[in-house]
Amino acid sequence: MHAKHSPSEAVTRTRGTVWVSAGEPSGDMHAALLVRAFAQQAPELRFTGMGGLSLSEAGCQVRHGMELVSLVGLGGILRGLPGILALLRRIKQDLKTLRPDAVILVDCPEFHFRVAKIAHGLGIPVYYYISPQIWAWRSGRVKFLKKHVREMLCILPFEQAFYEERGMRARYVGHPLMDRLPLAELDDLPVEPGSVGILPGSRRREIEGLLPLFAEAVRRIRQDYPVDRVRLIRAPGADQAMLRRLWPQDLPCEIVEPEDRYPAMRQSRVLLAASGTVTLEAALIGTPGLLAYKLSPFEFKLTNWLVNVEFAGLPNLIHDREVFPELIQDKAEPEGMARTALELMQDGPRRQAVLNDLAALRNMVGEPGAPGRAATIILKDMQTKAEVPHA
């Protein structure tokens, strides 16, 4: 399925101010790409809002930092709640004063649903870029989005149908990863036969839970396969000292910095990864791997009760079958990880079938240009001067 609406389509120039809001690092990066796409099509637009360094460097006036919103974990949210409520009050006052022509929200639903309600109440059109994954859990929240958001701009192929079946305007624009990944350059890099890549996640808790298990899995893989290089790939924001502390000193490995992660992923024969967007990055790069995650018994039961999708990994959700083997909860143990990784490392029908599925995934996700297509759609809709639809 390919995204439509090329940014090269003629767009009548729009004058005014747009409020853009990102609440965590990846959203800040996606928001920055979107603002840059707007600048190519409507350079007279001014951008202001909430975000981080990437959004600021893209030319947006960042009035509010996103540090409070990007807090991870219930304890962090509770401790930061007074500050978050104060931030929402300041944003409401800004929106009242500025009266921007549009508000664009990027992911981060728990905070941005409140911003959407504020903007909608002020009669400001709201657009949502990077759909919150309500199709995975708490899908009833689509009723809120249908009332408060003018249009949902989706980055996964199946999301548009989800929203349209529930009566909400939605457009599939493609995945912005296709703009970030230098796939032509990566495809030219050789895969090293004895190389294992480790992607333990970015959050302290998941790193502490998974990295020792990944290390023990590598130890067992080495008993049956000649592993001569182990790359421990540090996610942005992950503490290098913690990675070194958790990795066994007697097991050789090299820590790869975030800016070098894509070549390291490409050159690895197999990847052991924490569940997350990184699995889609790995799949688009074309490296087979497995994903794992482990929660407390209570959290796992709660998650099973809330979640209504069959798979955890984005490559598997897009394919609607298990392309990246999922080792979840009790299955997330070294013996099973090693056995699965060995199957993916060895030449044969299993590895080749996975490589074929990963190659097909690029076409399923769509071509580069998602930010430009999203900007085109928003600009055209802004020019209709239509009122925000009320339920």
Burial 252-281 (b: 16+ CB within 10 A, else e): ebeebeeeebbbbbbbbbbbbbbbbebbbb
Q: Cβ neighbours of residue 81 under 8 Å, at least 6 residues apart?
A: none
* CA end-to-end span of the chain: 31
According to the model, what pLDDT value does residue 5 have? 45
* Average pLDDT, integer, range 312-331: 84
Per-residue pLDDT of 268-285, as tens digits, reads 999 999 988 889 999 999
Give the whole-angstrom CA distance, residue 218 versus residue 210: 12
Q: What is the SS3 assignment for 108?
A: coil
Query: For residue 82, what are its two tokens?
Result: 């007074």
According to the model, what pLDDT value does residue 387 have?
A: 44
The model's pLDDT over 131-187, given as tens digits with 9 standing for 90+, comes to 887 765 666 788 999 999 999 999 988 899 999 999 999 999 999 889 889 999 999
Cα–Cα distances (Å) from 213 to 33, 275, 300, in that order, read 36, 14, 18
Question: Domains of the chain (ranges plus CATH)?
Answer: 17-176+369-382 (3.40.50.2000), 183-365 (3.40.50.2000)
pLDDT digits (tens, 9 = 90+) for 78-128: 566 788 899 999 999 999 999 999 999 998 888 999 999 999 999 999 999
Q: What is the dihedral of CA 277, 281, 283, 288, to 10 degrees?
A: -90
Chain centroid to Cα 224, Å, comes to 35
Q: Tell me the average pLDDT across 302-325.
A: 72
